């Protein structure tokens, strides 16, 4: 091999390694789901009322795991549904949440998770009806839960009827769904609050707790409380 050819080969090989390293860093280490910000974003934002809009779907056709159940968050600025479970709210504020429940039912493993706790009035209004508990053993009526142990919040999300034909393309914009509305106060001190669904909805994984249940962007995420 001639010297110029060797140099060219070496440079090309070097650039290929750099490109691969950049891809790994950007795609796998920094490429997590985005965080959707609620509130004015102008500090101090404490005492505001913000409206957080979520939906849960039978699938996630915008990801590399199209058969995984998933939450989505609506960006209040663009109105677009974002494939993420990360959001931020202002500290010490009233958080009005609406969850559109598009997924079908799965019985809760423990009926404890059917109790609505940590919301204002310990209720969730489902399709206009205030509920304090959903019994998913007497009727298959819970799709997922929105549970944040750090503030004692647990809200089972109602599901459409068993016979309904569920929305098949995410994020869902039509099809049978429930409208779940509840409010809670965000903590006064900034911090990160983990939330997760308590239904073992990771179909195809041991005990249903793998896959989407343990992956940010699907059934688990964080609420950042910011000042």
- Which residues contact Cu ion by CB under 5 A? 144, 197, 199, 201, 219
Between 74 and 196, CB nearer to Cu ion: 196
Kindly state the smallest distance separating residue 197's Cβ from Cu ion, in Å: 3
Cα separation values, 85 from 17, 19, 47, 154, 201, Å: 33, 30, 24, 16, 16
Q: Least distance to Cu ion from the beta carbon of 226, Å?
A: 26
Nearer to Cu ion, 100 or 201 (CB): 201
What is the token pair recorded at 60? 């996630």
Q: Based on CB atoms, which residue is closest to Cu ion, 148 or 219?
A: 219
Whole-number minimum distance, CB 12 to Cu ion, in Å? 47
| Nearest approach, Cβ of residue 57 and Cu ion (Å) | 10
CB nearer to Cu ion: give 45 or 103. Answer: 103
> What minimum distance in Å lies between the beta carbon of 69 and Cu ion?
6
Closer CB to Cu ion, 93 or 106, in the complex: 106
- Taking the complex as a whole, the smallest distance from the CB of residue 74 to Cu ion amounts, in Å, to 18
Structure tokens at 53: 């809009």
DSSP labels for the chain? --HHHHHHHHHHHHHHHHHHHHHIIIIIIS-PPPEEE-S--SSP-TT-EEEEEEEEES--TTSS-TTS-EEEEE-TTT--EES--EEEEETT-EEEEEEEE-S-----SSGGGGB-BSSGGG-EEETTEEESB--TTTS--EEEEEEEGGGTEEEEEE---TT-----SSSP-SSS-EEEEEEEEPPSS-EEEEEE--S---TTSGGG-SGGGGSBTTTEEEEEEE-
| Closest to Cu ion by CB, 49 or 214 | 214
Residue closest to 214 by CA, chosen among 193, 227, 198, 226: 198
CB of 162 to Cu ion, least distance (A): 17
Indicate the residue among 82 and 201 with the shorter CB distance to Cu ion: 201
């Amino acid at each position: 091999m001639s010297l110029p050819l060797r140099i060219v080969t070496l440079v090309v090989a070097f650039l290929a390694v750099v490109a691969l390293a950049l891809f790994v860093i950007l795609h796998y280490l920094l490429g997590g789901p985005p965080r959707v910000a609620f509130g004015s974003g102008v500090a101090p934002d404490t005492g505001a009322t913000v409206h957080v809009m979520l939906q849960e779907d039978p699938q996630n056709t915008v990801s590399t795991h199209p058969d995984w159940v998933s939450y989505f968050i609506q960006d209040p600025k663009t109105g677009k549904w974002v494939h993420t479970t990360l959001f931020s709210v202002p500290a010490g504020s009233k958080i009005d949440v609406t969850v559109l429940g598009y997924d079908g039912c799965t019985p809760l493993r423990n009926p404890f998770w059917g109790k609505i706790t940590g919301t204002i009035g310990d209720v969730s209004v489902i399709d206009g009806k205030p509920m304090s508990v959903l019994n998913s053993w007497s009727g298959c009526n819970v799709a997922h839960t929105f549970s944040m142990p750090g503030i004692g919040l647990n809200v089972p999300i109602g599901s459409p009827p068993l016979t309904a034909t569920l929305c098949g393309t995410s994020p869902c914009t039509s099809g049978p769904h429930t409208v779940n509305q509840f409010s809670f106060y965000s903590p006064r001190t900034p911090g990160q609050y983990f939330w997760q669904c308590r239904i073992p909805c990771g179909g195809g994984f041991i005990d249903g707790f793998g896959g989407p249940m343990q992956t940010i962007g699907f059934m688990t995420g964080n609420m950042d409380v910011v000042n």
